[in-house]
Amino acid sequence: MTKLFGTNGIRGVVNNDMNCELALGIGKAWGTYLKRTVAKPKIAIGTDARLSNDMLNTAITSGLLSTGCDVVDVGLVPTPTLQYTVKEKDFDSGVIITASHNPPHFNGIKGVASDGTEFSKNVEEAIEKIYFEKNFSLANWGDVGKHSTWDGSIDLYINGILSTVDVDLIRKQRFHVALDCGNGAGSVVTPTLLEKLGCTTIELFCEPDGTFPGHNSEPLPENLGELIKTVKESDVSFGMAQDGDADRAIFIDENGTYIWGDKTLSLAGKYITEENKGGISVTPVTTSTCFEDTIQNSGGELIYTRVGSPIVARVMMERNAVFGGEENGGLIFPELQYCRDSAMSLAIILEILAKEKRSLSELIAEIPNYEVYKTKITCSNDKKEVIMRALVDKVKDNKDVIKIDETDGVKLYVKGGWILMRPSGTEPIFRVYVESKDKHQAEQLALNYKKIVEDMIQSMNTT
């Protein structure tokens, strides 16, 4: 169990729990870890648009250099751009300084393995162990690392995407697109990608700015009012928004309707499964059944995993999957790389529209619809495990339960729907997800099971 690394790297408030001492120590631990297997590791480092990036970048770079690693700074880039660079340019590891969609006073550090995927939990645990034990292996004075910069990362990445989609077909359609980069890292890639794909673009908040003046960088409906308004008032084929580090994409159909991530996941999954005439797709247990229905109806097979994109990506590699991703707009295309990739999602959606010659709203209407309820209940971290076990005991003999799945938390399949109760990996809360095709059933299940979890937490607090 890692203390510093959460579901998506280390995150914290700048100059509070995310400070230069931590970054320096993590840099030394990271370098020490890499040098156990590589004599002279070469590391790529990139950042999103945040104001504290220089402070953290120089601190972690200094730590890495002190252990004898060479560090190449690729500048302000989306997370998937850094990941692609690590894989394609044979780096031994990658560092991305980002707090993704968190508010501007947050920042974070995320690790990338030599194959471009996010660090596995084992690697994070090993780095933390070195960090806490201060078991650093510093280089001799003549062997400290060298620092350099490289500005080829964005072109490399855009060309990688262009080589995996049918550029001529997309260019012929001359799509008109509204793009909202949320002043995040996507600003340095996505407008150029759209231009190369022959699109004309209405740009909103496409200048990198770590104060996020446009809106909060989580692409939720309440943050995308300007984009939705722009789509409604213009004749664009669709709108697209990226989160702060541009690994996640959210689409708005041509009528201005917000499309939830599980629908986009299903649309892309259908297309890729049909193109491959089957194949495996991978997603966490939290994803709507609309994805399972779509993959199975397209002749594919779906595998569920625990929550977390690094877990999804690694299962995809192990099972040679054709597609995967999360319900939050994080889509993974193995043809390019094994990580969430918003720019690649955009290119695929354009290719689907170009081939199908139908509107995005028409294509989304074909995806099955489920009513989803998500709620959370406060619960102290030290009680989560015992509550989890007690919950399984309590509900396993419930006569309505058809199947129990304990991949992550406890997922109960009942007639017409399912309930998932799982402790958060990062916050002191228990999450309850409910899904059913029937709105009334979903509401009832949500109320019932929220109460079961609340009562269980209450009883544990009083014992």
Q: Please count the CA atoms within 13 angstroms of the CA of 56 that sit on its side-chain side.
A: 32
Pairing of strands 371-378, 10-13: unpaired
243 interacts with Mg ion by CB under 5 A: yes
**The dihedral of CA 113, 119, 125, 131: what is its sign?**
positive
Report the nearest approach of Mg ion to the CB of residue 328 (Å). 9
212: left (phi over 0), alpha (psi -120 to 50) or beta: left
Report the nearest approach of Mg ion to the CB of residue 406 (Å). 28
245 interacts with Mg ion by CB under 5 A: yes
100 is catalytic: yes
201 interacts with Mg ion by CB under 5 A: no
Which class for 394: exposed (0-12), middle (13-18), buried (19 or more C-beta within 10 A)? middle
Q: Please count the CA atoms within 13 angstroms of the CA of 125 that sit on its side-chain side.
A: 5
242 interacts with Mg ion by CB under 5 A: no
CA 241, CA 262: separation in Å to the nearest integer? Answer: 15
One residue of 81, 100, 288, 345 binding Mg ion per CB under 5 A:
100
Report the nearest approach of Mg ion to the CB of residue 81 (Å). 13
351 interacts with Mg ion by CB under 5 A: no
Segment lying near Mg ion (by CB under 5 A), choices 16-24, 185-193, 242-250, 292-300: 242-250
**The dihedral of CA 323, 325, 331, 336: what is its sign?**
negative
Nearest residue by C-beta to Mg ion?
A: 100
Segment lying near Mg ion (by CB under 5 A), choices 112-120, 129-137, 204-212, 244-252: 244-252
Segment lying near Mg ion (by CB under 5 A), choices 92-100, 149-157, 195-203, 400-408: 92-100
Report the nearest approach of Mg ion to the CB of residue 242 (Å). 8
Segment lying near Mg ion (by CB under 5 A), choices 64-72, 119-127, 155-163, 240-248: 240-248
Which class for 425: exposed (0-12), middle (13-18), buried (19 or more C-beta within 10 A)? middle
CA 34, CA 127: separation in Å to the nearest integer? Answer: 9
Q: Which is nearer to Mg ion, 63 or 284 (CB)?
A: 284
Catalytic position from the list 62, 66, 93, 100: 100
Number of residues counted as binding Mg ion (CB under 5 A): 4
Q: Which is nearer to Mg ion, 248 or 384 (CB)?
A: 248
Report the nearest approach of Mg ion to the CB of residue 325 (Å). 13
Both structure tokens of 214? 């446009």
Pairing of strands 249-252, 93-97: unpaired
Report the nearest approach of Mg ion to the CB of residue 278 (Å). 30
Distance of CA 207 to the CA centre of its chain: 22
One residue of 48, 118, 247, 327 binding Mg ion per CB under 5 A:
247
Residues that bind Mg ion (CB under 5 A): 100, 243, 245, 247
Catalytic residue annotation: 100
